[in-house]
Every structure is written in structure tokens, then in C-alpha cells.
Structure 1
Amino acid sequence: MIDEVDKKILNILQKNARISNAEIARRVGMAPSGILERMRKLERKGIIQKYEVRLNPKALGLVLTVLIMVKTEERVGSVEIGYELAKISEVQEVYFTAGEYNYLLKARVSDTDALTELLRKFGAIPGVKDTRTTLVLNDIKESLALDLDRVDVARAGGKKGARKGNSQESEDIS
């Protein structure tokens, strides 16, 4: 279970994961040792999964963001190909989906030649049947931040939401 203090701590961390415990304590009105204990508890419960640096992909030459739907010949409920797709370095996100296509992926590449090479990598995976690619023209909103004001504190906190292979990045939403 999380309380209102935990929500304040989580909101602060979502805006800046590098903030010091002392600064969080000052903002929340608690001792730094109390903040540290609460953060450790949130980590043990799986509410805080990890801390990561968010890089600017365009500054690194990865100017194309693509969303790719992948159709496979897997048996119903199987996700082995999804894990193979997730191993490809250009792929940032893999979602197992219902519908005509089995997976929805997000990837970043430098140009259309790199996209062509990425699609070849997909085609080399046994069982990949078809892909449908959409080029993103502009990232209007991209965030992993959660609106904690919509979280029922009486229900939250007891369940680990992490899935096998789930990797999330920290967001700076200031």
C-alpha cells in the first residue's frame, strides 16, 4: 500500500530521478533517513523499478522513430518471437498485442537505409510473417510518467507490475 507521502516522493522522482534524498526530504517535510527507507520500500515492492538516463536520440543521429506491427506464425499465446525481436538493439519497446498482428514495436534508426536493415533483421527471425511500418513525423508526447493523482492509494502498492523482460526508462517531465 502506498500513501500520500509515497505519492509525493514518486512524483518528485518522476520529474528528476537524480534529485538527492535530502532535497526530497526538504520538499516533503521529512528526515532524509525516512525518505531513504520509503524509497527502499517502494523499490522492494516493485513500484520503483529502476533509474535510467534518458538520452536525446536525435542528438545521437537517431532521427527516425518508427512503429512497426509484426505478424508471426507462432501458436496462440506464444511470445518467443517477441523476445527475439526485443534483442535487436534498435528496438526500444515490444508489446504483445491482440488482433491481426502479434506485436507492436517502437524503434529508432538513423535513416531509411537503417530502417531497411532493421526490417531485414526481423525477416531473418523464423516465424516472422509480415510487418507494417509507420514513420513518426513528430514526437508530440513521449513519457512513462504516471498520473499518481488517479491512483487509488488504498489499492496501490501491493502488486508488482513488472513483466518478464519489461524495461522502462526514467522520464524527465519538468
Structure 2
Amino acid sequence: MIGENDIILDKTDLHILRLMQQNARISNADMARELNMAPSGVLERVKKLEQKGVILQYTTRLNPTVLQQKLLAFIFMKAADGPGSNTTSLELAKIPEVQEVHHVAGDDCYLIKVRTYDSASLMQLMRNSFSKIPNILSTRTTIVLETVKEEQQLVIP
């Protein structure tokens, strides 16, 4: 079985990924022109990148402020279930306001990223959602005052 680390990407694959990461709506024809390839060849390569799990999903990035989700916070959590258990992380991942869940090394078990409307809705989230997860022992919240850079793009060699 080939693992994720065994996937080999050539220069053309990497170029396709760069183009698609800059603009996921780029057409096969535009990519083909950029790569000096036939559109059918580009389409075939993109489908293979999807099948291999290199391209995971196509999404639209929305402006959270326009949607009134103005509060961004990072919450460190300690949990009773150990690092080998996924019970708490799966429960956290079900909460719509939770954007990211990370197992972390150190004193805490999890680092989660949440977006809410304001501090009152953050408090409501903590009271109504987090408090219902039995394994959470403590939380430590950091509220973001200003975001200088936030993106999901990866560095493509």
C-alpha cells in the first residue's frame, strides 16, 4: 500500500497545484495554456491528484467579518482522556463554531480555533457546548485582537 509520503509529484503536478491554489476556479483551458499542454491532459492530471488524495477539497473562502463572525479565539484545553483517545477531539469537531482541532504536546491536550459573533456568543459556546463534553478538565482562551495573516495555502516547491 502506498502511503501519503510515497506519492511522487513531478514538476507539472506541482505547477498545477500552484495554479489551483492561487485560483481554484481556474479553467482546464487556462491551465493548459500556462503549462503548454492539451486541456484533456491537464484534466487527467487533476483527476489523478484528486484520486491520490493530494487535492482534498475545493472550497470558497468567506469573509467572517461580513458574516458578523468578528471574534476569533484560540482555546487550549486539558482533557481527561489520554492522547491515544479521540473521544474529546471528535466531540469538539462536531461543534460548528470550531474551525480547527489539534492534539498538542505539552501541558494541554488540545488547541482549538473558534469563530463567534462576540464575547457573549463565545461565553455561550463555552457554557452550552464545551461544558457538555465530559472529558474537558480546563480551558485557557486567547482572544485575537487583530489578524495580520491568515491563510490555508501551503508552500509548493
Matched with 1:106 is 113
- The residue number in structure 2 matching 1:69 is 76
Shift of 1:75: 2.9
- Correspondences of 1:121-136 after superposition (within 5 Å): 121-136=129-144
Q: How many matched pairs?
A: 149
Moved over 6 A (4+): none
Query: What is the SS of the residue equivalent to 2:66?
Result: helix
Identity of aligned residues (%): 48
C-alpha deviation, 1:119, in angstroms: 1.1
Whether contact under 8 Å (2:83, 2:109) holds in the other structure is no
For 2:99, what is the secondary structure of its paired residue?
strand
Separation in structure 2 between the aligned mates of residue 142 and residue 70 of structure 1, nearest angstrom: 22
Which residue among 142, 152, 160 is the counterpart of 2:150? 142
Aligned-partner Cα distance in 1 for 2:56–2:31: 18
Classify the secondary structure of the residue corresponding to 2:102: strand
Q: C-alpha displacement at 1:137, in angstroms? A: 1.2
Mark the runs of 5 or more structure 2 residues left unpaired by the alignment. 1-7
SS of corresponding position for 1:60: coil
**TM-score, structure 2 as length reference:** 0.92
Q: How does 1:4-153 map to 2 (within 5 A)?
A: 4-120=11-127, 121-149=129-157
SS at match of 1:134: strand
Q: Take 1:44 and 1:139, find their aligned partners in 2: how far apart are those partners?
A: 35
Distance in 1 between the 2:90 and 2:72 partners? 20
Could you say what secondary structure the match of 1:88 adopts? coil
Distance 1:124 1:117 in 2: 12
Alignment partners' CA distance in 1, 2:100 and 2:135: 19
Q: Secondary structure of the equivalent of 1:51?
A: coil
Q: Deviations over 1:101-140 (max 9, x none)?
A: 1110001000011000111111111111100000111121
CA shift, 1:97, in A, is: 1.2
Give CA deviations for 1:140-170 in whole Å, capped at 9, x if unaligned.
1112211112xxxxxxxxxxxxxxxxxxxxx
**Cα distance in structure 2, aligned partners of 1:42 and 1:22:** 17
